[in-house]
Amino acid sequence: MPAFPPGFLWGVSASAFQTEGAARSDGKGPSVWDAFAAEPGRIKDGADASRGTGFHERYREDVALLAGLGAGAFRFSVSWPRVIPGGTGPASPAGLGFYDRLVDELCAHGITPAPTLYHWDTPLPLEEAGGWLSRDTAARFAEYAATVAERLADRVPMWITINEPAEVTMLGYALGEHAPGRKLLFDALPAAHHQLLAHGLAVQALRAAGAGNIGLAVSHSPVHAASDSDEDRSGAEIYDILTNRLFADPLLTGRYPDGFDDLMPGPVADDLAVISEPLDWYGVNYYSPMLVGAPAPDALDSYAGLGMPDGLPFGLREIDGAERTHFGWPVVPDGLRELLVGLRQRYGDRLPPVHITENGCSYEGLDDARRIAFLDGHLRALHRAVEEGVDVRGYFVWSLTDNIEWAEGASQRFGLVHIDYDTLQRTPKASYAWYRDVIRAQRARGTTTAGSGD
C-alpha cells in the first residue's frame, strides 16, 4: 500500500439505528425507522431491527475492537430520539449519559470520537408532524445539535451534521423504499431543502456551543451516460443533478442547479446563505458509479433491491464486466478517484479538505478475501486521487461490525467484524486483520497519527 499524507486519519463508521438496539432504554422515544421496521414486510428478511447488534450494551467490547484495529477515529451516530425522545423539549439525561460514556471510552483508548448527529432516525412525533417536508424539523434539529454539543464538545474534535440527505429524500420520501415510506416522486424535493437547511442551522448551533471541525457525509457516485445519444446524455445529466449536484452545489456554492430554486419551499435565497455555511471538511460516501440513460425498455426495474417506478426521466443500466458485491453493487475502485478528481474540478477552491466518510462492501464469510480486495483497490484509487491533487484527510470503512442494513435487515454483511445475530457474538474477519496491518504500516511510516481529527 502506498504511503498516505502525514496526519491521515484512519477510521471506521457505524450508525445508531443499525447497531444500538435497546429501543426503549434511556427513555428513548420511537424513531421513524422503529415505526417503519414494525410494519410487516418492510424489513425484507424479517430481522429484528430493534435489537441491532447490541451496541448500546456492548459498546465497550466494540471500542476494544476499535483499539485492537488501531483505528484513529470512530464515526458513530447519535440517536436523536434517544437524546430528545419527542424530537423537541427537554433532553433525556440517561440518553445523553450513554453518549457521554461512549465518548469517554473512546478517548480513553486514544480514538477520536466523530459523531454524526443525524443518520436517518427522525423522532417519530416530528415525522408525524411532517418530518423533512416541514421547515420546523430543521429548527428542531438545530436545537438538538446544540444540546449534544453543549454536553460533548469539550471531548469531541470532529462533527458530522447529517448523513446522506439524498438517500433520505429519494428512498424515504420519493420512492417509499425506506422510512417514512412516502412515494412522492418530485414532490419530495422539500425534504432535500429542509435537510440542507437543518445542516446549515446545525453548523451555526455547533459553533455557538464551542464545537469545531465540522462537516457532513454526502453520498456521491460518478454518473456515466449509457451511450452518446442525446437522450441518454440527458437522462444521465438529470440523474447526476438529482443525486450529486442538488446537494453539493448549495453546500459548496450557495446555489441550486439551474431551475431548482423555484421548486424549493421558503425564502430560498436566505436559506442558501445558511446552507452554505463554510465547512471545515466535506465528507464523501462512495460505493459504486452509476450507468444511466433515457427511460427505455431495457432499463432496470430495480437496483440493489430498490424498485424503480415508471415515469422517471432516466433509466438505470447494468455496468457490464464488473464484479459485484453480495448486494449486487458493481465493484469499480477507480470510480472513487474519478469522483474526487471530478469534485475538485467542478468546485475548485470551494471544495474543502475531504474525508471519505463511508466506503465498504457486503460479502459473506469470515475469510473475506473479496472484501480485502475491494478495500485494497479503493485505497489505491484514493491514493491516486491524492497524487492528482485532491486534499484527502481521512478514510472510514463502512463498517466496524455487521449491522442491520435498513430494509435489507441482517442479510447484507458490511462489517470487518462478524455478528452472530442469535448470540451477538463478535468475531473479527480476515479483513479486520488486513485493515489493522494497513494502519500499522502507515503509522510506522510516520504518515498517520492515532486520534488525529485535523
On whether the CB atoms of residues 76 and 121 are closer than 8 A, the answer is: no
Q: Give the total residue count for the chain.
A: 454
DSSP secondary-structure letter at 327?
A: T
Those residues with Cβ within 8 angstroms of residue 439's Cβ, 6 or more apart along the chain or in another chain: 10, 69, 70, 71, 72, 448
Output phi, psi for 318, to 5 deg: -75, 145
Give the active site residue among 164, 277, 338, 405. 164
Distance of CA 284 to the CA centre of its chain: 8
* Furthest C-alpha separation in the chain: 59
Q: Which of 306, 285, 309 is nearest to 295 (CA)?
A: 309
What is the rounded CA–CA span in Å between residue 396 and residue 401?
Answer: 13
Do 67 and 436 form a contact (C-beta atoms < 8 A)? no
Q: Which of 177, 277, 338, 358 is catalytic?
A: 358
- Contact call for residues 47 and 404 (beta carbons, < 8 A): yes
- Quote the CA–CA distance of 152 and 146 in Å, as a whole number: 10
Distance (Å, rounded) from C-alpha 177 to C-alpha 39?
12
Decide if 164 is catalytic: yes
Q: So which residues are the catalytic ones? A: 164, 358
